[in-house]
Amino acid sequence: MPKTLTRSSALYQEALTCFPAGVNSPVRAFKAVGGQPLFIREGKGSKVTDADGNEYIDYLGSWGPLILGHAHPEVVRKTAAAIEKGTSFGTPHEGEVALARLVKECFPSMELLRFVNSGTEATMSAIRLARGFTGRDIVLKFEGCYHGHSDSLLAKAGSGAMTFGVPDSAGVPGDITRKTLTVPYNDTAAFTAIMEKEGPRIAAVIVEPVAGNMGLVLPREGFLEALRASTAEHGAVLIFDEVITGFRVAKGGAQERCGIRPDLTTLGKVLGGGFPLAAYGGKKEIMEQVAPLGSVYQAGTLSGNPVAVAAGRATLEAILSEQNFYDTLAAKTDLLVRTVGEIFTRRGIPHVINHFASMFTIFFTGGEVFDYQSAKKAQADRYGPFFHHMLERGIYFPPSQFETAFVSSAHTEKDIEATAAAAEKTFTLQEMTWK
* Catalytic annotation, pick one of 12, 146, 185, 280: 146
Q: Is residue 396 among the annotated active site residues?
A: no
CA neighbor of 291 nearest in space, from 431, 166, 129: 129
* Catalytic annotation, pick one of 47, 141, 269, 332: 269
Q: Is residue 241 among the annotated active site residues?
A: yes
* Catalytic annotation, pick one of 50, 241, 371, 415: 241
3 state SS for 347-387: CCCCCEEEEECCEEEEECCCCCCCCHHHHHCCCHHHHHHHH
Annotated active-site positions, please?
146, 241, 269
